[in-house]
């Protein structure tokens, strides 16, 4: 009887170790953060990979999800690390049913960014209530 319990414990420990390893590896590949609003908007900003150099490809993604109970019109504003500091942020207006989401991605070479740390900021604003959610992600360019 003790042998099956020991085997189950070893199997559980192995599964936990694999899960931790998978999370550690994925955490090294991208910087992703999420913000939520009182009215049920969830916005996510992601930059991948989290450290780049040379001509590696950078991918940025901004996502907004309606976790509320009613349809909302949302303004999603994306402050990209690639845009010139004098340019206004890109804004997209979308109508989301409950549970609906909208996502946009862009890719560009790391050489388009100067060395240092850069930040992607995504802001979702409920157009009716002005309630908002913000998320940011960072990337380091060597």
Label the pairing between strands 132-141 and 72-79: unpaired
Q: Which residues pair with 104 in a beta bridge?
A: 62
Phi, psi of 86, deg, nearest 5? -90, -10
Q: Report pLDDT for 51.
A: 96
- The whole-angstrom separation of Cα 110 and Cα 116 is 11
Spans of all domains in the chain: 31-141
pTM attached to this predicted model:
0.76
CA distances from 142 to 54, 80, 130, 133 (A): 8, 18, 38, 31
% of the chain surpassing 70 pLDDT: 77
% of the chain surpassing 90 pLDDT: 70
Class in CATH terms, 31-141: mainly beta
Contacts of the segment 116-121: beta carbons below 8 A, 24+ positions apart = 116/140, 116/141, 117/141, 118/47, 118/81, 119/79, 119/81, 120/45, 120/46, 120/47, 120/60, 120/62, 120/78, 120/79, 120/80, 120/81, 121/45, 121/78, 121/79
Query: What element of type H or E holds 16?
Result: helix 2-29
CB atoms within 10 A of CB 32: 17
Q: Inform me whether the pLDDT recorded for 128 exceeds 50.
A: yes
Dump pLDDT digits (tens) for 17-34.
333 333 333 334 689 999
């Amino acid at each position: 009887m003790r042998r099956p319990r020991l085997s189950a414990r070893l199997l559980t420990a192995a599964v936990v170790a694999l899960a931790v390893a998978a999370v550690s590896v994925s955490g090294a590949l991208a910087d992703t953060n999420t913000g939520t609003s009182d009215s049920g908007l969830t916005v996510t900003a992601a930059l991948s990979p989290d450290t780049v150099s040379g001509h590696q490809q950078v991918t940025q993604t901004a996502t907004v999800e309606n976790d509320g109970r009613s349809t909302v019109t949302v303004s999603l504003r994306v402050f990209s690390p690639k845009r010139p500091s004098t340019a206004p942020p890109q804004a997209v207006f979308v109508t989301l049913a409950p549970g609906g989401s909208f996502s946009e991605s862009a890719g560009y070479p790391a050489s388009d960014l100067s060395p240092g740390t850069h930040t992607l900021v995504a802001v979702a604003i409920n157009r009716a209530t002005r309630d908002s959610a913000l998320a940011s992600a960072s990337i380091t360019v060597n």
